[in-house]
Amino acid sequence: MSTTLRNPFLRAALSGLLLGLAFPQVLNGFAGVLVFIAFVPLLLTVAENARSSRRWSIVAWLYVTFVIYHGITNWWVCSWQERTDPYLFASGIALWLFHPFFLMLPFVALASIRRRLGVGWMLALTPFSIAGFEWLHGQTDASYPWLTTGYTLVQTPFAQIADIIGVYGLSFLIAGVNSILVYLLLQRSRGRSVTRLSLTLGAALITWFSVGTWKANHIAPFTKDFTAMIVQPNEDPWDKWSDTRLQVQTHRWLTDSIRSKSAEADVVVWSETAIPFTIRDPRFIPEWEELRTWVDTSKLSLLTGYADIMIYAPGEAPPSARQSKVDPDVRFDAFNAAMMINAGKSDVPVHRKSMLTPFAERLPFADQLTFAMSWIEWGVGISAWGKGQTRIPLPVVKGSDTLARIGTIICIESIYPEVARDLVNNGSDVLCVITNDAWYNGTWGPEQHYDIARMRAIEQRRNVVRCANSGVSGIIRSDGSEDPHPAIEPMTQGAVVVGVQRNTERTLYATIGDPVPIIGLILTLLALVSARIPFFLRNLPFRFTSIENTSL
């Protein structure tokens, strides 16, 4: 191989480029299969150079890969709009600079394993390390698992087995394919035959593709169990916080305009913070009673995003709770929430957002870092939300009948597979994503967010109703297909009635969760610890000597 192609930084950059091109909305469609070779240049670099290079050099290669990957796929997070809040823009830049350090963690571990245990152990543990650290990346308040490798396949039949292994399981298989390809290249460089293993890998990929195609074609035929009206107001995300009551009037007008054309629906869905004030607070009794009267007289079930408030009993407030300016003894939290208002029913079930956008909506580890909460407030009144503690479906009730139990997911919660899985395990037969992606109009951010919701549909085999302030709004079927896409043209105002199918069966993934990445993380950590124990190094059960000291 030429000296140029063996340059570690060029190889690292090539991996970053391939990962970026494979991600949804960059090239689209079957470009996602580029991910099957995307890690190869980087793994070759680590395999050949990690033992002889300084640690800072390894970190530099890895940073190059993932700063390119993040830049290609997530440049839009800065919100490149004229009215973008400086804090939001700066947060996007900070994410671009620092997120790569999280993404490179599995490869830091693999580089250490390669230095102490050799190339064979590194390649054997590659899928375990990548899947394990990606799972770990989604488990804390500071998490941002948007760039989970498995999402690259969402537009291909390969994604259909996510109902068995989930998105992290897809990451495991993707990394496994890359690891085998590196092994084949190293073996071939030593003059060994790789025909049999190459044919086996090809057959495995064909089988995987065929199984995915079969699964997509054998989903239970669609039957319309109930109807949902999706309302897309297309409000300016900055203006909506200045005239909050106007937002409610706009949503009501759009809903009534469709109903006047005899387009009735069993449930009406409004987007995230469609009611951008604490309407259920006693200060807003007239507004709350007016909304309830409208729902009752219209005989609706209304699922809407809103700002919720909870006043804590003395001694029960978490450390991050806010202090009342009127009475310092009163502690409370405001929540980014959703509620279901059923006509004629006094009970109003609520879902409070449990996974909040780090820094934009809540300071990570706010209960431990209360002194820093004021540092992250920005100019539209939505920072420092409280964190919801339960994931319970919201029922659509007509008379004495429950038509559906809707697992409601608010905005960034949709990138966490655990949220949808918990909702399904708690009885949801339909999923619904409400969001406000208008901060990123004109970029491919909203479309990427939509594609991630498609993965949730496949994992749980549930229809997903998606209602966004400015799009992408629509109905996603349980095979991840779009019907239609979009239901309402993005960045336009409108409403549409769609048929929705219920499903009460749980997938294998809903039942067992993520044992593969969890086991993978444990194995990787054990390897890192064991590699520092001389006794273990002298007594390895096997050493993969056939590919040691090999280069291309």
Strand ranges across the sheet with 464-468: 394-398, 401-410, 430-435, 464-468, 474-476
* Over residues 206-215, mean pLDDT: 98
Is the pLDDT at 533 greater than 80, yes or no?
A: no
Q: Which CATH class is domain 226-306+338-351+390-502?
A: alpha beta
Output the DSSP codes for 470-513. Answer: SS-BEEE-TTS-BSSS-SB-TTS-EEEEEEE----PPPHHHHH-
Average pLDDT over all residues of the chain: 91
> Rounded distance, CA 454 to CA 151, Å?
10
Instruction: Choose the weakest-confidence range: 81-90, 159-168, 199-208, 423-432.
Output: 81-90
Answer whether 303's CB lies under 8 Å from 406's CB.
Answer: yes
- The owner of tokens 């949902």 is 228
CB 364 within 8 A of CB 142: yes
> Taking 90 as the threshold, does the pLDDT of residue 363 lie above it?
no
pLDDT greater than 70 at residue 544: no
User: Cβ distance 273 to 436 under 8 Å?
Assistant: yes
364 has pLDDT over 80: no
Q: Is 307's pLDDT higher than 90? A: yes
Which one is predicted more confidently, 292 or 544? 292
- Judged against a pLDDT cut of 60, whether residue 550 lies above it is answered with no
Confidence of residue 545 (pLDDT cuts 50, 70, 90): low
Instruction: Give me the mean pLDDT over the 120-124 stretch.
Output: 94
Containing 210, the helix (H) or strand (E) segment is: helix 195-217
Residue 40 in this model has a pLDDT that exceeds 70: yes
Q: Give me the mean pLDDT over the 303-318 stretch.
A: 92
* DSSP H or E stretch at residue 459: helix 445-460
Residue 538 has pLDDT above 80, yes or no: no
The model's pLDDT over 128-150, given as tens digits with 9 standing for 90+, comes to 999 999 999 999 888 999 999 99
Region 394-412: mean pLDDT is 96
pLDDT given for residue 378 in this prediction: 53
Whether the pLDDT of residue 540 is over 70: the answer is: no
How far is Cα 317 from Cα 314, in angstroms, rounded to an integer? Answer: 7
pLDDT at 373: 64
Instruction: Indicate whether 320 pLDDT > 90.
Output: no
**Residue for token digits 């700063």?**
67
* Residue extents of the structural domains in the chain: 8-218+511-547, 226-306+338-351+390-502
What span, in angstroms and rounded, lies between the C-alpha atoms of 376 and 360? Answer: 7
Percent of the chain beyond pLDDT 90?
74
- For residue 536, the model assigns a pLDDT of 59
Q: What is the average pLDDT across 32-58?
A: 92
pLDDT tens digits, one per residue of 466-488: 999 998 999 999 999 987 788 99
**Residues present in the chain in total:** 552
- For position 482, what pLDDT does the model report? 86
Tokens of 204: 């495995």
Cβ-contact 177, 36 below 8 angstroms: yes
- 507 close to 457: Cβ distance less than 8 angstroms: no
The pLDDT score that the predictor gives to residue 245 is 81
Q: What pLDDT score was predicted for residue 359?
A: 78
pLDDT of residue 365: 74
Side chain identity at residue 500, one-letter code = V
Mean pLDDT confidence for 37-53: 92
Q: Is the pLDDT of residue 548 over 70?
A: no
375-399 mean pLDDT = 80
What phi and psi values does residue 438 have, to the nearest 5 degrees?
-65, -15
Q: Please give the torsion angle defined by the CA atoms of residues 321, 325, 328 and 332, in that order, rounded to the nearest 10 degrees.
A: -30
Least confident among 129-143, 320-334, 407-421, 486-500:
320-334
- State pTM to two decimals: 0.94
Q: Which whole number is the average pLDDT over 153-171?
A: 98
Q: pLDDT digit string (tens) for 248-297?
A: 999 999 999 999 988 889 999 999 999 999 999 999 999 999 999 999 99
Contacts of 193 (CB under 8 A, 6+ apart): none
Q: What's the rounded mean pLDDT across residues 454-465?
A: 98
